[in-house]
Structure 1
């Protein structure tokens, strides 16, 4: 069977029959390329190398551009003969399976309506698959022919997977976000067909610049970017990006969402006291500090006195026994800054006499004074109304003593 294949090959190739100077080594190399599987042939890539992705995905109803290039180092490749690019499906054995041949660059065969847009003279075999179907999922091989030279890329198979569902876009946000920082947010989507790129939209500015870029491996990515200046309000903000792929008969859409985590200095720092209002000397009070910050803040308590301001406690809550009045405030601090609360006043009952108490005292004093006045008046009145005491002293009339009876 080996000899019959060789005979058929030589009969179908007039150039090979005319090339009397072809060495047996060259013939053996060609035979190994045509007839032996890659693991047995040792992948003779020393005279032809093809650069295609080993794995690539496509979307049904859309197109797929396959980046492809090749490099040939062989004497039979030099004559100025036209180059023929061929795509084979599933197998490289055309003789045993002629249905594997799906495309020839001369237009004689084109089962899937492929378009080899690369210039073969420049060793560019880039090819576009239009309107893919899931049944196109398979392994493909490139074959190059030029004059007496024929070689299959058995070492560089291309496996295409056709999906029904689109790829979710990716959102790239720098790590370690901080307030006041300007960052560039990027939403990107895999673009199997740069001739029909996905439409990207998000909940940032809708006029963000869209561009399709070529990757180092020859594939393409479509992206939009926006530069924003971060603040504390961006912490927990959800960025949603949607990629809409145009396909035959409509569109297919996928969405991605990420949540921003932004560090910021303390905000809305406040202090409270419990119990509120006047407190009794010797009782316990609790001062509490709150603040919004990321990372969570550290809390420090200060007391203001006539001798200055002093650090009196560390922690969110400060509890102590009241001995005298005072003014207090707290400070919230993290790596990005600090913020102090307003001052709270601690007052004890002995320090203040209310108006109500003053009125009560005045009422009591008025009642006491009124009672004293009434008692004094009553005593005077009784004393002034008391009858005179009777006496038996004689009464003299004309120097004559007379008694009361006479």
Structure 2
């Protein structure tokens, strides 16, 4: 059996080999170009075409790259790779075109890439593939050049860019507008110090810019100058510093100072403490570095001084009364003479100029005044001068001591205040228009309601007088003079009522009234009026927040309709009822005398029915008059 395998005719194998050799010509992948040098962060197009035998159907196409050690798949699909999926775009089709675009290439994208396609009968890998080299840009230049030299800067890449490149140059991130480039080189002829800076390059149409390289241009001192601290003209006694500045590369380390033609010091800083007029003159400095030296221009040092001995004076001198015209004059010694003067009252600016005038001066103008003298070297204030304006009393007012209400029996103090110059020493007090006292303080001990009223004080000094506004002294007191008023005759018929009204004098007015029946502890009513339904002795009690008081008692008498008895209710105290009884008896005896024929026990009935009833009415009126007199 083994022999049969070995001796099997080789014709089928030869036939298969012939078929394969013929069909392989129908398979293939072509790349154009096969080597690409691309700039970092640019986009790369890999042109690609492919072919396969007629009758085959394309099932899948994709691009792959040389296998990394970490990859397990032999030919990974780059479109599934997270490093490529967002940047890889397939531009071809499933017939002949297999072109792709790879965007934002990085140095890590340098690989050999292949196109692979799979048909329904076979698969193919386009090998060799496309070799992609990604490069960045670097500027090559000398580290240091001397002003006047010629300098060549070169923009280099690790490979020759596939696309024809036009280079752009930048200095300090700003594009160079002058076209001084030759291919990838920048030529600076007769370099100047202004050419120093950080240079970088880029390719036109691409975002990638090379790292910047510093070009250092050395030159001898230039623009040598002297500055003074403090600035401006110098004041006698100050400490002055002269500073020498120069523009050189490398920086100058050797400085010398000259006054006139005489050297006076060395170093970049020259100091003079407590400068005097002898230090005035022409100063200059000399700056030296390894490439040369240069002198500054002359600087004039002129010693001056700010204002001093500043003083203020007032005209006229002596006493100043409200309404006068006053002039204040400022004097000072300064070099140059001060031309700027300002006047201040306290800390507030009030005017400018060496002379400050006030016409028709007022008391509000009193105070401490000073002037300020200024020249270009400084300023100085004068000592304060006092402007004291005399004026009569004003703002006179009365203050009542204590807080809250004034109650009868309290002690009250009234204080008179006024504004005047000189201060008022004469004070008088008035209630209404009546003089009641003198002195700034007016006291009332154990005040009563009679002290209520309008009070004012008068303040006097040698320049005039003024009254305060009125203040009201309102004395509070508890109810007093409490009394009861009976409406009508004071008599009540069974079933009717008599109205009693309670009145009182109090401050504030009483709002709380209670009614009591004699010899009873509980109140029988409340309110200012009370309806009495039965006879008896009644009184009221009035209340406010300061106390209470009761009235005298009043008697209410009741008679029955069927008895025809007439009973008088009189507004008297119950203790005076006996006197009233005697008066009634006297009247009755008078009637008996006139009516002897009538029996005593029927006197009342007959008088009611008799035509001379008017006599009884007149008697009753007489009794009422007597009662009113007794009240």
TM-score by length of 2: 0.32
**More helix by percentage:** 1
Looking at secondary structure, tell me which structure has more strand per residue.
2
| Higher Rg of the two aligned structures | 2
Q: Which has the higher contact order (CA 8 A, sep 6+)?
A: 1
Structure 1 length as normaliser, TM-score?
Answer: 0.47
